[in-house]
A and B are shown apart, each in its own frame.
Chain A
Amino acid sequence: MLTSVCRGILRGAVHKLRTRGAPLARLLCSNEEDIVGLGDADTIFALSSGQGRCGVAVVRVSGPASPTALRCMAGLTHSLPPPRTALLRSITDPQSKEVLDRGLVLWFPAPHSFTGEDSVEFHIHGGLAVTTAVLQALGNMSGMRPAEAGEFTRRAFQAGKLDLTEVEGLGDLIHAETEAQRRQALRQMSGELGRLYQDWSHRLKRCLAHVEAFIDFSEDELIEDGVLNQVDKAVVDLQTEMERHLKDERRGELLRSGVQVVIAGATNAGKSSLLNTLCQRPAAIVSPIAGTTRDVVETALDIGGFPVHLSDTAGLRESPDLVEREGVRRARERMEQADLTLVVVDSALLPCDAEQGAAFLQGHLRSVLSNQEQPETALPADKCLLVLNKSDLLPEDGRQKLTGELRRVSGLPPICLISCHSNEGLQDFLTVLHSRVKTLCGNPLSGAPTLTQARHRAHLQQCKAALAQYHRYRDTDLALAAEGVRLALTSLGRITGRVGAEEILDIIFKDFCIGK
């Protein structure tokens, strides 16, 4: 009771002091970084509408800080709007006070919302710049963080807001969202940025291992006192690098947006021809020589109004050629990151009999496309389309019959018979492709790179703040200092993958001689 009164007084005092710029202000103003990341960042936000050219984008916020978000962003200083009623407001960035957009805001007080918590929706214009700006502004507010895969649904589930059938689908939904996010994260992570994060993670692991070794073993064992000094320096370096990275407004890499479609298959199946046919220009070199395409050829397309990022890849085969081997590696990497894979097969190779044909295709999916390290994991059927190319080489009467029969075989991905040479079947193929792309775009999480980026940013900020804790307790309480490094590693681990206690012990035992 008394403390709450004091806090009230305190708030007043802080306000006065801040306005007067009293010398004590330094004592009173908390370092904001300390609070971000250490407090329970419990309010989540996400872009809930799909990507692509939609007129309106919906950003959903859920959790205790959502009314604050609404007040700050929609300039509602006095009162919240009536529940569940759309209100047209200017959306502003609370930090820069810059007007980002004009859009509808809706307020759903608990428990009458999707998640059962206080929720807010921003209906804004669908352009990339606007949504990015709004998501970033939300991410900069304290107590807010981007939603993890399936988190809205999980909260709804926990609040008992889902009916039984929905609950049963929850696992699959989370799976789909996790997969989509994983692919999206992979895209962001391959390349420079990924290497940077991995390097940080590696260095942090060593820091933690060395602090832990000092805690658990230094009294009994010979662990040089210099170990901690090295950690001090490593932590400072990491902080500086992260700081610089977070301030870098250029963002490093261009985001690959749109649905990621990869053309893959054995050599000489006509993959590059398919690319050229789709983009209606000779973007890739085609020749009868197997292994013509060695690197990934990329092009941006518009399919029925949806943005598609199309990549042609090297033909998959074992090759002694160093360059070609690298091409095949890149091809597999792309397939791993793809939303949709177009598997191109030379239909002249197909046995005429439908049953044998199906077996051939299944074998093909397993043997040619599967990863060398995990030979038994075939591409999931919902992630690919089978494109049987060179239909002009098949006898005319057999074409319809073959595809008809093959389509009835269960377990095979959808099949399209086309000829890049004569353009036969192309229209049907485009219809199928269009509907798949449309479905993929409809999934709000399938590839919103801005959200992934916002999430990375939030985790990095938490990581940096946690490292400050290391310094704060370094000399007084090493257990609490170690906790800071551990927290930092957990935050970074949300980008680069979880780090378990065993991994830390591995490093300890590798670096130090620990007796019994």
Chain B
Amino acid sequence: MLIKKLPPLQSFQLLVSRPASHLARQQYDVIVVGGGHAGTEAAAAAARVGAETLLVTQKIHTIGALSCNPSLGGVGKGQLVKEVDALDGLCGRAGDWAGIHFSILNRRKGPAVWGPRAQLDRQRYREFIQSELLGTPRLTVLEGSVEELLVTEPNPEKPGHHRVTGIRLANGNHSISASSVVLTTGTFLSGSLFMGQTTSPGGRIGDAPSSAGLSHTLRERLGLRIGRLRTGTPPRIVKDSVDLSQAKLHPPDRHPTPFSFLNKNTRCKPEDQLPCYLTFTTPGVERVVRESLHLNCHIQQDTKGPRYCPSIESRVLRFPGRRHQVWLEPEGVTSDLLYPQGLSMTMPPDVQLRLIREIPAMHRAEIRTPGYGVQYDFVCPTQLSPALQVKSTQGLFLAGQINGTTGYEEAAAQGLWAGVNAARWALSMSPVILSRTESYIGVLIDDLVTRGVTEPYRMFTSRAEFRTALRPDNADLRLTLKGRYKVGCVSSLRYQETVRVKDNLQEVLEALQTLVLSTPSWRKKIVVSLKLGLCSKFLCAFFLSGMDVLQYNDVSFEMLASVFPECLSPYMEFSQRLKIEAVYRPLCDLQKKDIERIQKEENMSLPLDIDYFSLPVSLSQEVREILDRVRPSTLGAATRLEGITPAAIAHLLNYARHTGQKERRMHRNQLCARNASLPQ
């Protein structure tokens, strides 16, 4: 399948530049606030599920902007992109459209931890996202600033519990009502920018700060616990001023691998890809950092930054006397800028210039825009359900940096899931939850809502305990079918493609299982030694199936297909997936029991409004306090809390069994009642 041609952008601009009062409707199912990675995925997903959706953003022009690094994917993050794509999200296809340098990281470390990654052309990425949103039925985009979140008075029976009714816009005092609102405000929630000793309100340089009203509603009216985090971005360097001969050339993969399961090729031709360059810091860099500390507000602040170092300042301060890597990345095909990955800094612009010129390749470099730091509010995510809905406010969903995460991919993944659930809430469907046993998105959300964050949360593959099963290659099999029937966010086109892949894989796996030969005959046929390096218990046998043989290091599917062309050659397009499947399946089978146990526990939901202090079961005060603070939504989440004993779990299990049915019935009634009360 080829990448489709983009529709012209002008019509898009025309469609949405009308004033808010001229909107076709004054009531939507879902309103998404924010047009970044979380917001665009949320809006598109909500519309795919079937909700009339409105995306409100400050500037239509910046929808789909890459605020920081011009790249997508990586180790752990690439898995998220594949999963978002498997659920028919945008970012995978956008990456294939905008990518100008594709590589698979960790190529030599095993397919479970491969990290598909691409450098992006900023403009092409934005174009793709904008035109995708334009082509999405049921989705309207509106330029405006949200002044206030409209919520009902607290429910007298449940103090502190609200319901979202819509938003009020800043200009014209215009209100729009909706059943669900998804907030994806990124760094704009009470954001302030830091450069040298100056501080200014805002979430991104060049953009107006968002209104204080939203922050006030969350904090004061809804009583949400709010924390503060910081991040930063490096200066952008003029490409022609850099002496690239002094940096190490880092070419892309010869054959670009697309992110999307729907694409066979990337838009960028293999030979048109642009390289990256690697260079290193010098002792001079460290000196400049130390000399300018007194001029650097951001670094002096004690707001929680991540333990992994976000800025060159914290890198040289925490690990002094070392050289640190700096990647020089292209910003686009026509861009004259380079992005120096690893040089995020917040010192005054003149010092920034001095610093980068300490690096040999940049000794005459010019800065186009200086780096700066951002501090912003986030909502402690333990206040959210696994559907990313604020537990105390029905219909309010949060996604992206507002939940304390960092990274485009993390934002996109949450955005998609919040959008799906916002739409389902608006359409009176039950919430859907992804398990950490089936996806990185599930790991991400479960970590956020049960453990909370103390630093910007970033995905690592080591966070997924079932990493060998959650591979980039099988994201479609894990999620697309579920996404079609249980979630409702997958188009029939993608569904059919996945069914085709699944059927084909099943056929060829069966064929491989039934090809059974003795070890010597295999040796004769495929002329390899079948070294016993890779020994699982199946491989110690005298008779081996094609599947067993494929586990050996030196055997490829192509070899088997050349021996049995009649039954295997129709499946050549799956050769890599088959090889991976053969190696991983026996190990994944061993984990199946653990996975089933966890899934069983995750299917036992605990009502969100249990009063743990008066629960008539024997739990210690300490355990009650932990449960009350975190309010796990499932028994599975409760077992992962620190300080929860097996005995406490047994008590909760009983409770969940007894009350589960009752609660479910009540929930249904509640939904019906709410729908009856909605204005038609």
Contacts and interface: CB of A to CB of B under 8 A. Distances in A.
B208 to A, nearest CB: 26
B454 to A, nearest CB: 10
Interface string A24-51: 1001111100110011100000000000
B335 interface: no
B130 to A, nearest CB: 27
Given A27-B540, A171-B647, A221-B325, A509 B307 contact: yes
B516 A2 contact: yes
Given A6-B516, A501-B463, A480 B647 contact: no
B461 A513 contact: no
A320 to B, nearest CB: 33
A171 B325 contact: no
Contacts of A393: none
A404 to B, nearest CB: 30
A216 B75 contact: yes
A170 B654 contact: yes
B650 A171 contact: yes
Nearest to A17: B542
Given A479-B113, A515-B315, A28 B542 contact: yes
A14 B648 CA distance: 49
B75 A215 contact: yes
A150 interface: yes
A513 B319 contact: yes
Interface string A13-28: 1100100000010011
A27 B532 contact: yes
Nearest to B517: A6
B344 interface: yes
A14 B540 CA distance: 10
A215 B106 contact: yes
Contacts of A396: none
Given A29-B540, A39-B590, A216-B461, A479 B112 contact: yes
Interface residues of A, number: 63
A366 to B, nearest CB: 15
Nearest to B322: A513
A24 B542 CA distance: 9
Interface stretch (A172-180, A328-336, A339-347): A172-180
Given A34-B536, A172-B647, A514-B308, A477 B109 contact: yes
B296 interface: no
Contacts of B310: 515-516
A196 interface: no
Given A35-B537, A171-B648, A212 B462 contact: yes
A275 B323 CA distance: 66
A516 B467 CA distance: 22
A31 B534 CA distance: 12
Given A216-B75, A479-B113, A515-B325, A150 B307 contact: no
B39 interface: no
Contact of B468 (A13, A479, A500): A479
A215 B467 CA distance: 12
Interface in B105-152: 105-106, 108-113, 115
A149 B451 CA distance: 27
A220 interface: yes
Nearest to B530: A27
B198 interface: no
A27 B315 contact: no
A10 B540 CA distance: 10
A220 B76 CA distance: 13
A158 to B, nearest CB: 10
Interface string A484-516: 001000000000000011101110110001111
A477 B319 contact: no
Contacts of B583: 477, 480
A205 B635 CA distance: 28
B536 A168 contact: no
A215 B462 contact: yes
Contacts of A35: 537
Interface in B282-327: 307-310, 315, 318-319, 322-325, 327
A222 interface: yes
Contacts of B540: 27-31
Interface string A356-370: 000000000000000
A215 B114 CA distance: 9
A9 B543 contact: yes
A81 to B, nearest CB: 30
Residue among A2, A39, A483 with max Cβ neighbours from chain B (10 Å): A483
Interface in B538-566: 540-543, 545, 553
A478 interface: yes
A219 interface: yes
Nearest to A219: B105
A408 interface: no
Contact of B309 (A154, A178, A502, A515): A515
Nearest to B310: A516
Contacts of A171: 617-618, 647-648, 650-651, 654
B74 interface: yes
A56 interface: no
A150 to B, nearest CB: 7
Contacts of B461: 212, 215-216, 479
B112 A480 contact: yes
B325 A514 contact: no
A29 B542 CA distance: 10
Nearest to A167: B654
A35 B590 CA distance: 11
Given A10-B543, A28-B541, A516-B344, A175 B647 contact: yes
Interface string A138-154: 00000000000110001
B513 interface: yes
A3 interface: yes
A476 interface: yes
A505 B468 contact: no
A215 B109 contact: yes
A280 B344 CA distance: 76
B207 interface: no
B49 to A, nearest CB: 32
Contacts of B537: 30, 34-35
A483 B645 contact: no
A478 to B, nearest CB: 4
Interface in B310-368: 310, 315, 318-319, 322-325, 327, 341-342, 344
Given A174-B650, A216-B461, A483-B468, A476 B534 contact: yes
A220 B74 contact: yes
A17 B513 CA distance: 25
Contacts of A168: 654
Interface in A166-207: 167-168, 170-172, 174-175, 178
A472 interface: yes
A172 B654 CA distance: 12
A377 to B, nearest CB: 9
B462 A505 contact: yes
B613 interface: no
Contact of B533 (A28, A472, A501): A472
B465 interface: yes
B646 A216 contact: no
Contacts of A175: 645-647
14 contacts: A13-B542, A30-B535, A31-B535, A150-B650, A215-B109, A220-B327, A222-B324, A473-B534, A476-B110, A479-B110, A479-B111, A479-B461, A483-B587, A515-B308
Given A31-B535, A34-B537, 9 more contacts: A14-B542, A154-B650, A171-B651, A215-B106, A216-B461, A478-B110, A480-B110, A501-B462, A501-B463
Please provide the 10 A-B residue pairs with the shortest distance between their CB atoms, ordered closest to farther. Answer: A175-B647, A477-B110, A479-B110, A514-B308, A479-B112, A171-B650, A478-B109, A171-B651, A509-B307, A513-B319
